């Protein structure tokens, strides 16, 4: 196994998109990573379509494709670079299933790397969610503190008003 041929984490993670509330990779990016033509990758998928239910792979709508095109500066809509078909998006499970139909050593090694990156991304999202929950708990405590401080100040205001409105008492006792 040649370590220098491994792709960088950044190269792979930059090709993970969030579409339809799922982390996915597009067919053209996967083909590039696997070192095959997009057309060939999609041919293999179509030959094994029963392995790719909708939760493993779906085709982007025109709006989703155009939205991605506008977000990614490298995608050009000039003559010769325009895709004839809308791209397919593969979820983590779909990418895992690709390893069963793409048999080259490069495809296997690339798939292993992609799965590791997906695991890291999932862990980062989990960590981020935990941090958000902690922040929400702190905010709730702070809101309670604000209410308590407000209550203390209102009691202090009442006490000072009572003291100001207090009538001087007649003193009892011996006078000098």
Domain boundaries, the chain: 9-123
- Any idea what DSSP says for residue 22? E
pTM above 0.75, yes or no: no
What was the pLDDT predicted at 6?
60
- Res 143 pLDDT > 60: yes
Give the bridge partners for 58, in sequence order: 89
pLDDT digits (tens, 9 = 90+) for 41-53: 999 999 999 999 9
Q: Tell me the CATH class for 9-123.
A: alpha beta
Paired tokens of 151: 């209550």
SS3 annotation, 33-95: HHCCCHHHHHHHHHHCHHHCCCCCEEECCHHHHHHHHHHCCCCCCCCCCCCCCCCEEEEHHHH
Most confident of 74-78, 109-113, 150-154: 150-154
Once rounded to an integer, what is the mean pLDDT over residues 137-145?
83
Q: Which two tokens stand for residue 133?
A: 């929950």
């Amino acid at each position: 196994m040649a370590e220098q041929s491994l792709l960088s984490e950044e190269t792979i993670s930059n090709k993970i998109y969030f579409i339809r509330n799922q982390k996915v990779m597009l067919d053209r990016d996967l083909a590039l990573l696997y070192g095959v033509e997009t057309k060939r990758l999609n041919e293999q998928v179509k030959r094994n379509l029963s392995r790719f239910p909708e939760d493993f792979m779906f085709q982007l709508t025109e709006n989703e494709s155009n939205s991605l095109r506008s977000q990614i500066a490298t995608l050009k809509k000039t003559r010769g670079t325009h895709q004839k078909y809308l791209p397919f998006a593969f979820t983590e499970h779909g990418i895992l299933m690709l390893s069963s139909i793409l048999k080259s050593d490069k495809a296997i090694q690339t798939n292993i790397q992609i799965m590791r990156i997906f695991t890291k991304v999932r862990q980062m999202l989990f960590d981020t969610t935990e941090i958000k929950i902690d922040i929400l708990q702190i905010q709730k405590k702070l809101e309670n503190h604000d209410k308590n401080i407000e209550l203390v100040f209102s009691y202090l205001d009442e006490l000072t008003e009572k003291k100001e409105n207090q009538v001087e008492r007649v003193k009892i006792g011996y006078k000098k």
